[in-house]
Each structure stands twice: as C-alpha cells, then as structure tokens.
Chain A
Amino acid sequence: VLLALFAALAAAVGIAVFRPTSFPNSANSTGRNFTEQIGNSVDSLKALGNTVANLFDSRSPGQRAGGVLASLKLKRQIILHQRALPKIRRPVSPLAGIVGAPPIPPVGTLPAGTPLYNVVNGTTRNPITVAQAGPPGGPPILFPSAPPLSGGGGGVIVPPIVTAPQQPPASDTPVVNIPPIITAPQQPPATDTPVVNPVITTPVPEPSTWAMLLLGLAMIGNILRRTRRASVKTAAC
C-alpha cells in the first residue's frame, strides 16, 4: 500500500514536471530553413530590378520540388523496411558455444525410434524416443520410453501403462549402446572450455527490465505519433 501510494504521488509529480509545453512549430522552422537559402536568390532578384514578377518571387517560399509528395511516402516505406530487416533473428543452436558439439538435426527429420538425450547433462537417463514419425509436415510425436503398445493410431498420445512390476524400475530404462552425442561434458574441464551456467531468472522483474519495457512503449508511442502525422499529408482535398 505504501509503495502504491508513493508510486501514485511520484506519478502525479512527474506529470506536473513533464507537463507538455508548446514547442516550436516544425512547419515554420522548416520554412525558415530553406527561406534562408532562398534569401540569397531574392537579393540577386532585387538587384535586377523591381519588376512585378520579382516582387512576387521575393515573397515566395520557393518552387516546390517536383514530385515531392509522390516520392515521399515510398522513400519512407523503404527506409522503414531497411531498418526492420536487420532485426530479424535466425534461430541459433543452444550448443553453439560448446566445443565439439555437433549441430542438432532438425526435429522434423528424425526417424522413428531415435532416442533423444538430455543434452544439458549428457546423461542417458529416461531417454525419450520418437515413436511415430508423425503426420507429414508436422512435428514428430514424442513418447516416454515405453514399449510401443500397438504401433498404430498415429497422432494419439498414449501414456505408458505399467502392467506389473515384473522388472526393477532401473531396468525399465533400455540400455543404449549408441555413444552419447555430447562429448564435451565428459571430458575433464579444460581451461578454455566455456562453462555453461544455468540462467536463473527471478520472477519479479528488475527495475532495469521495467525501464526497458517503458522505453519500448515510448518508442512504440513515438512511431504511432509519427505515423499519424504522416497520414495527414494527403488528407487535404
């Protein structure tokens, strides 16, 4: 409660402090910029003589560049597209930093019966096998390690049915003779081997996380504002 009250008070103070004030009209400032450029030509025109055309021209903001409106929107779209393209991230293998790690084959190409391993620990306990190749085009269906019951009915996930404790639970794990895929954790820790520490995330976001979130919101708001401004351009009849 105290925190909420304090936050509300601070918000009120912040709004009062950052209350919007008038800011310079961008249209006027833009005009001023290039009328300064025109100013030289105005002087030269006046030197030629005070004809009526010169009188008119001296008060003109200048001729409009040809096609300024038609090309403006297209250029803007291209620029936005170019800005957005480098932000597309490709999926990176989680084993990219481990020495000697083979690339993980895509899941969709695994044949049926391939055991999957816990890649973090390198152990082979409780391997999960791909029981069915799954529907074409779709991901394979993962089963816990259990003898396949009937083999049919692809697409239905069947829980392992324990009929009787005929075997000790340890022998429930099939013995796998395939050498483990991950070799790095089994080697003695070399000096240059990167140690993969598990990332511990706290359930409560840090203030920096909040700040980044708010910064993102502000950027989205800015983009929306600019988009709204740009849409005014051709609104006039």
Chain B
Amino acid sequence: VRNILLCSTFSLAVLVSAVAVKADGPSLVPEPLAQTTTRTDARSVKTDMLVPFSQSKPDMRLIGEDDTRHLTFFLSPEQALSGGRLRLAYTNAVSILPDGAMMSATVNGHAIGDIPIRSPQTVLATELPLAPGTLVAGWNTVRLRAQQQHRVDCSIGAAYELWTQVDPVTSGFLAETASDASDLASLITVGRTAQDETEIRVITAPGELARDAGRSLEAVQTLALLLGRQDLRIAFAETEGNGPGIDLFVGDALTPALSPAARQVLSNSPNGLSARQMGDGRVRVVLRGANDQALSSALVSALNGPLQPVLASRRALTKQPVIDASSSRRVNLAEAGYETAPFAGRLFRASFDLVMPEDFYPGDYGSIDLKLNGATAPGLAPGAQVLVRVNERAVTSHVLYDPEGVTLKEKALALSLRAFHPGVNKVEILAELPTEADQACDPTARSNAPRFLLLEETGLVIPELARVGRMPDLASLVARAYPFNHDKALDLVVDAATPGRLSTAVTILSRLALASGHPLPGHLVIGSPDPSLATNALVITAGRRDLAMTNVPPAKGSRPAAGRIDGLTTASVVSASGTSPAASASDSQALMDAFQVQTAMDTDRMSWTSRLSSGIQHLADMVDRWLQYQDVTEAPRSIRPADALVTLGQDSRADGAIWTVITAQDEADLLRGAGVLLDPVHWGTLKGGKATVLRSDLSIVTETPAAFTFYPLTDLSLGNLRRLAAAWLSDHFVIYVGLVLLFIGSFGLWLGYIVPRKGVRTVE
C-alpha cells in the first residue's frame, strides 16, 4: 500500500505542483518545538550573529572520564567590546551518568560556568553569557573540560564508552553586534554546512572552468590559511550557493565569458579583496584584479592590511596541545596546555600531538624519555599502571601498584623512536587506576576521592633525531605537506576539467597549504603531467585511461611509470569488465593463495628442512613486525582491484620530482573516496606509502612501502650520520647480527692465527 501511496505522491508531486508544499509552506514541527535546539532550528532562530569555532568535529569530541579541548573563535574589536553568549550544542554517549556529569568552560582563562551533560539523544544547545571583559579582539580560546562517569560499569574499558560531542555547526560565540557586513576579517565567521564542512565555492564562468580554477588557486589557499579549518571543502560552480559557506569570485568585470550575475558582482566590488556577509552564515568574497599579478598583489596587500590581525593574533595563540619535536630539548606538558588537576576516575588520559620533522627517520637508535611526575592515592587494586600509547599503540608501561600509594618523581619511561613517524603523532598518557570497590560497582558506594595526580612538570626529553627525507610517506605529506612545502613549483594535474575533479584537487591543495603554513606555488595543468619537466606534481586521475600514466613515456633510467605508480590502481582504472589481464592476474593470485591454503600439507608430513625454513620465516616475520610496531591486522592486505575506490600514493622519479597521485575509476568514485580521505578524522592519520579507500566499507587501508627512496642528505654532520647508520642497522637487524658474528669470528680466527705464532708472554 505504501508503495502505491508513494507512487501516487510522486506523480502528484511531479505533475501537479499545486499539491506540494511551498518552500515557506507550513512546518510540521510545532512552533514551541521549532524554537528548541535541533541543529537546523538553532540556526533559524538566531537573532545574533554566530561566530563558529575554527576547529573541526574530531577536535570537538571529549572522550573518557575527564577530557579537555581547546577551541578558538575570532572576534572583531566591536564584538569583543559588546560581549555575547557562548553557545555549546552537544550530544553525549547514552552511558554517561546524568548525575554530576559536567562540562566546564573557560574563556581566555576566565571560568564562565558549568553545563550539565545530559543530552544522549539529540543535540542540545546551551548558552553561557560572556561579559565583554572576558573577551579580546582577535582570537579567543575556549577551554572545555568534561567530567563524566559511566552509569553502571566500573571497568577500565567502559571509560572508552564515554564521549561528549560538541556540534561544530551550531556551536560558537553568539555576538550581540554583527560585525560590519563588508569587513574583510568577518569572513572568518563563515558557517558550516549540515555535513560539518566549510564550503568555499569558487564561481566560474560558463565553459571556463579550467581557466577560473587555475586562477583561483592562490586565493583559495589564502582563504584556507585564514580560516585555519581542517574541514574545508572547495567546490566549483557557476552560480552562488545557499546556506553557510563562501562564494569566491576571482577576476575582473572585463574577463570574457562571465555570466551576467558574476559580471555584476565583480563590477560592483572594489578592486582587491573584499567580503560581504550575505546572511545565514554565507559570505561572498570577491578578489578583483585585471591579471594574475594584480590578483596576487591584491592578496598580499589584504594580508598585510585588514587581515593582519587574523594572522598575527593566531600566532599569539598559545597552549595548543601540540609539541614540536624538531629540536632536542625538554618540553613540559604545561606547554602543551595540560593543567594539573586531581583525577578521581578509573582511567586517566592526557593526550597531545607530537609533531616530528618531515625528514625524521624512525628506528631503534634512541628514545624520547617521558619524565613522569605525579602520585597515586593509597588503596588502588593490583593492575594499576601507567601506559603510554603512540598512534593508538601501547609503547611502554609502568606498574603503579602499591597499597600505600606511589609517588613518581622524574620517573623515566623510554619511548622508542621507532614508534613515531614523520608528521603528527598522537601521544596518550594513560593511567589505569582500579580499586577493589570497582569490582562490586555499587551505585551507593560511588566515591569521588581522587586517585591520581599528574603534575604539569611531567616532561618529554627529545633527543637528536636521525634526519633524512624518504619517500613515499603520506604522514609527512599530510602533516607538513612534505615534499611540497618548499618554494619549488608544484603542478596540480587533473586529467579532465570537471568540477568534481577540480574540487578534490584544490581541496587537497588547500589542506597542504594549511599543513605547510603558506600557500603553495601551484599551477593547474589539465591532462597528464609532463614527464620531461622535473616538477613536483599532485596528480588526480579518474578513469580517463587515455590520459592515465600508461601513455607517459618513461623517463630515461627510471622504471616504467605505469608500473611504478601503482600496478593495482592502474588495473582498477581499466573498465570493470573483468577481462583485463591485470584484474585477472590479481584474481589468479587470490585463487593461488586459496589453493595453497586448502592443500597445505600437515606440518609433520613436511621435510624437516622446509619445516625449519618456514619456522624461521615465521619467526623473522614476527620479530620484524614487533620491531616495526605493527599489529597483525596491519600486515599487508591484498585488495581486490574492483574494491579499490580511491588510491593515494606517491612516486619519486629519476629526475628527483615527486608525483603524489590520486586515482579512481570515475568521478563519482573519486568524489566519494576523496570525501573519506579528506574527512578530518582520517586525513590527519594517513601514513605509510599508499592509502586505499575500499568500496565495500569505505575504510582506509594503509600499505607500508616495500622500499623507500631517500632524498639527498641535507644534514651531513657526524652525529646525524652515526644516528642514520644506527637506525639503518636497526631496520636490518640480520645484517647487524651478521656483522657482530663476523667481528667476533674474525677476532677468534685472528687469535687462533696469532697465538701459535707469537706465543704468549706472561707479565710478571
């Protein structure tokens, strides 16, 4: 019946437009409910201007029993003077005990109030008044601390079920004065879409997509740097959009082929960079200039003029939970925004990002020492321990169990440098603090007595690092835009000028600009990269086989480009008819594997030599994985070519140029897969040599490269060479062991040779 009903509706909807509801038609939501806080409504009842936080969704999630986040927002001087309200819209895990669950907010160091955490099913908006005195013109920092407990489960693992997610779309500062509608700095207040993204929509002239996209690269990167948001998405369209976002016009009124609307916008705007609030979180940004030089200089003068405060005061922001490890020194947690506070829960958690230099070489040649300063309360149960996890993997631990309490003073825990990789590393200090009472978990016997205290004097001692850049490495690409972060030219190669491909390409470019901290000198190329030029390239291909790598003649002395880039993806680029040799080859491999598993001999029927060799092989694999801090789950996975949605890989060429390549079968796949890759949750965690988004479950599979290519050494000091040698040997431990044995053996031989000949003299 429903289908019939639906069918008739559609025919009605399609044919008799009179039946359907008008845009401003009646609302199904009752009036009193409409004024509450579902995300769309929260925006519609807005009377003041919402200045959103610049952080993206993953940075607004408070996890565990006690967690802290730092959020920032930008205010004009008038807004800072007039004050307003801090709106926090959030939802939380259903398991959070409503009694006593609190989120406390501090703005620029002033405590402004606590909010009870009780909204397990919907997004609930809560507002806290902010007096003008607590605010400053420029960037303001909000420190959110959530304290939450589990309703019924007192185990350590249950602490991971606790989370409170602040909604990036509807949260922020509600300013009582709207900033001047034409103030350039007000573009910082652009809202987010319902998909939690900040959209920059570049308005292109009909039929001139490639020209306008190429011209907008610098402006887009500048906007990305100003906004500093990880959830940016760049779109290309011919008309302005609706809802929150930025419409970017680049060019001049005299530019040929403009649509009449765009021509009017451009001709009504002043020369240079200007912005205008269009309401509903939408901002129109116009960069007007007659040619590329004029556009560039307009950007520079805007950055030195009205946008100066945005950049300058961002630099002044301190206490971000990020530690830079590029130089050898000691860093205390206080510098990463950690504040000492007694902890009363079961699982203590303090986390920060440790940013390794892009040419950092991981290995077992040294360690970062964590100097713990803290104490536990008496009465903890056996099993209490401190754990340090790096990139979600436990690296070291220390037992805390002592019935009378433990005091830690500069207690050193070594974190092997092999556990880190270039770029952003997430370090978590965890303390598991069970007590006897937790076993019973009696709701009447809940106690809020503190169990642990970690002092902010706890520090990290960062040693000298072995430094040599190597390829491929996605982690240093996403964290530092390495190797594009130099002033060397960068070709942005797209196989066809379509809005979807350009959107992916330019979105990635803007992320790289954010990572490197300055606009990259990108140049848009439609077609295939020019192999004769030694230019770095970011290549986006979506199934245009004629333009794919296959027809690029291999540069002399280099390996064939097609095979080098990624045999798997070129196989997937071939249309999915299932007859392509590459696809069938891979299928044959799978069949072969299955065959071998099925027909494997019982071990006791094998010859002792093969048993021994397979045993040694197994052992070596295990040691290797253990050495590399790899889980079994991270062992290389074979991906069916048809299952690869989008692949991101890197390829270095003989002439020293580096191509970072994104491949997909068609544009729809590209958009879907790039959406997953570019999601701030995933983008920052990319690592290894190649990342593939699977079609089946949209998960990302990372592949560790089989071999690295090294860049020429920049640091030729003896210390660095020594560390590199040590690191290399730690990677190739068989050679190390062989060398040791060789030395000992040759010493023995030498002794055997020399003693009979020279005799032994006894010293009397």
The reply to whether chain A is a binding partner of chain B is no
